[in-house]
Structure 1
């Protein structure tokens, strides 16, 4: 019985030693794994500058990569929060044949290469080589790919039509993408002088203060970087101003029974309301009066009152009035009587007696000659 107990005791000791040895070995394995060198990125390609249509190879050299996962990720420099996964391990995450992956092992170093062919301008950005060590830790290195391409003005940052009131300030702004970085130049239509002086200005913003009506018009924003053709956008600047009235003929003469036109020219923006008055009463279309208005370039409106078969009641002062939201103006014209018809008026017509105007003029001329001879 004693021998049996001894054997059982020895067996128990052996089982204990067996498990103890197994545990020690497992701890040793884990210890060895924990002491294994971590993966590192020993080198990555330097900055790359390419033209559209070129190819580029981005190389990432990793030591002690083991079974860790390596990938490429692209970030746009101007939008750091936006990124695209290019690859994860040996698998491409983009469905474009222009992208290709390769790897090559030499001693303890693995070279991971991302090749991009037929480069387009949207390929430009920061390319990050990543080693995922665990769920919260990764080793990274970055290389920037710069792509030369013509300037592109950003439409969403450019107001193509701006309206300001006279006396106000305004800033005309442009922004452009491209590599090399584009420069911005401002010009006016027909090479007109800029409100700040000179025919051109360099800078992203053109600041104009105390606007005058002469500052209105078309401005050009031109982006150029020496690659391809410059890009340009048109900005129309409107300046609201109160009416300004000019009268080509402040005093007009006409004989009775002949037609005549009274004219005033109004410059204003927005378009003005124009009305005519005589002796404090507004004149309307009808009877012997006919009013017409014609728009012209540079915010000019010509208003004409045609008087058919002038009579004695038509002589006197006429007032042309114009108004818009910025203000109002008025100008005075005088129609007076003369014996000889005003032949400078293009609307001169046949007389009411049925005789040709030519005949009437002939009689007038003969009368004047006789008076001279006598």
Structure 2
């Protein structure tokens, strides 16, 4: 056992020596030896008066982490024949006297340098070693000074007061606790293991933060997005920092998201159906056909399931229909079931016939009729010729030409024209008035926009235009021919520039046409 109490100048070993010294000085006659002893004592008193014993410096406080070695140092001047001892103040247990260890603690020893520097060494300190230590010198009265040993303790979580893994239903509130014991006291903060933001409620306000300071983490109306592993990290500057992992599980009803609920495919193709499921606890998933037949993986069907890394509550169901055939169209249902509930979603698969390949029908060539440029008139025979320079027979009874290469049919009607005569033999009402006769009245002759025929002289000054006679030029009667086609753009520009000129020209042409028509009609039937 460790010795207790101090070892000051009142010890028995000190008193016995003092009595024998005084007895020698006072009880016996002076001798040479007695005189020598007195002279020695006088020298000691003189030395002590000149060099008094004292502490050279206070004992320095020491702070070390638990498990490390600690050293307390006591500096003394002019120790002389006195001794240095170490005492633990809180237990009053003597640790060592001078060079001897008194306590039975094997981790404690003493060391010195030149009798002026004295060390108390403690190996692998523990929490019990922390406290005040006294350095004593056995003078009368005793002198001493204190030094403090601080044992630093890294954070350690108190499991009884900290939260373990927690499971709650979606919509409820949750409180996570994390209590750490440390010296000095540790600072505690929370982070998510997946580095995402933490949704925390404080003072009735819910917000998202990257980390949360404090031993408590409160979440109101927890959702599936809050499901994650949370790390409680405690540190106080003493290595190593400690962390505690708390897994928050949120239970909720399964939900199925279907990207395509209606899928079509031709026969012979591989068809893939997909369902995305969210549920916790992890659900049981399966496929059914027409709501009664469960589909298992086979050579015809490939069933797969992939879990999502995010949150741990999402998974992807796929069903591949190999070589889609006539028996495969129908309703396929993906099902999910857990302890909270179950849900299913239907995907309708139908057959898409392949596109038919029909030969394209050639479109008939475009035929433009009533073009005078396609014909020319033989001035000697009085008959028209086509583009191949072959004569086109003319039917006087119907007023039309017919032939192999003619653009007029045998019944006298042209394709797309609706008339019975070529365009150069029509009057204003679409009928011929050549020669001064018309089966539908004498509305007047047809005048082509360009030359090419002649105006045959009729009764009076009115001339009828004959395309089969090229002996005369239509320009001989300038009053009855129209403007050349090259001048029409200029006329149109003038009429657009001065609208009143167009009105006057229209009135004059109407009066002239009425007069000419009535005059020709009266002269042709005299």
* 1:310 matched to 2:324: yes
Q: How far apart, CA to CA, are the structure 2 residues paired with 1:88 and 1:156? A: 41
Q: Following the alignment from structure 2 to structure 1, what is the Cα–Cα distance between the partners of residues 340 and 361?
A: 56
1:198 aligns with one of 202, 209, 215: 209
For the pair 1:56 / 2:72, whether they are aligned, the reply is yes
1:252: how far off?
Answer: 1.3
Partner of 2:226: 215
Q: CA deviation at 1:263?
A: 1.5
Matching residue of 1:293: 305
Of the three residues 323, 346, 349, the one matched with 1:332 is 346
Deviation for aligned residue 1:338: 0.9
Instruction: Specify which structure has the bigger relative contact order, considering alpha-carbon pairs within 8 angstroms and separated by 6 or more residues.
Output: 1
What corresponds to 2:357 in structure 1? 367
Aligned residue number for residue 192 of structure 2: 188
Residue 155 of structure 2, aligned match among 132, 142, 151: 151
The aligned counterpart of 2:125 is 120
Do 2:267 and 2:325's aligned partners in 1 also have CA atoms closer than 8 Å? yes
For 2:283 and 2:227, how far apart are their aligned partners in 1?
17
RMSD: 4.1
Once residues 190 and 361 of structure 2 are traced to their aligned partners in structure 1, the CA distance between those partners, rounded to angstroms, is 67
**Superposition deviation, residue 227 in structure 1:** 4.0
Q: CA deviation at 1:190?
A: 4.2
SS of the residue 1:214 aligns to: helix
SS class of match (1:312): coil
Give the length in aligned residue pairs.
Answer: 262
Distance 1:280 1:191, change over 3 A: closer
Within 2, Cα distance between the matches of 1:306 and 1:150?
Answer: 57
- Normalized per residue, which structure has more strand? 1
Q: Choose from 165, 174, 185 the match for 1:161.
A: 165
1:313 is paired with a residue whose SS is: coil
Q: Aligned to 1:55, what secondary structure does the other structure show?
A: strand
2-side partners of 1:47 and 1:243: how far apart?
A: 67
Q: Distance in 2 between matches of 1:236 and 1:193?
A: 15
CA distance in 2, matches of 1:210, 1:86: 61
* Secondary structure of 1:195 counterpart: strand
Structure 1 residues 302-344: Cα deviation after superposition (integer angstroms, max 9, x where no partner):
222222332333223222121100122222212121124xxxx
Instruction: Work out whether residues 99 and 115 of structure 1, in 8 Å CA contact, stay in contact via their aligned partners in 2.
Output: yes
Whole-angstrom CA distance in 1 between matches of 2:220 and 2:209:
16
- Name the residue aligned to 1:263: 274
- After superposition, the C-alpha distances for 1:128-163 in whole angstroms (9 at most, x for unaligned) are 99xxxxxxxxxxxx9974323543445675556333
How far did residue 56 of structure 1 move?
3.2
Moved over 6 A (4+): 85-90, 371-374
Please state how far the C-alpha of 1:86 moved relative to its aligned partner: 8.7
Residues in 1 aligned to 2:197 and 2:267: alpha-carbon distance in whole angstroms: 50
Q: What SS does the corresponding residue of 2:357 show, helix, strand or coil?
A: helix
Q: Is the 8 A contact 1:92 1:101 kept in 2?
A: no
Which structure 1 segments of 5+ residues have no match?
1-44, 59-69, 76-84, 103-112, 130-141, 341-363
Residue deviations 1:183-237 (CA, integer Å, cap 9, x gap):
1011113432112121111111212232211111121211122344533233222
SS in structure 1 at match of 2:327: helix
Cα distance in 1, alignment partners of residues 266 and 180 from structure 2? 66
CA shift in 2, pair 1:124/1:372, >3 Å? farther
Contact kept? 1:283, 1:289, Cα under 8 Å: no
Query: SS state of the match for residue 211, structure 1?
Result: coil
Question: TM-score, with normalisation over the residues of structure 1?
Answer: 0.57
Give the corresponding residue for 2:284: 273
Q: Specify the structure having the higher radius of gyration (Cα).
A: 2
Q: Deviations over 1:95-114 (max 9, x none)?
A: 22x35599xxxxxxxxxx99
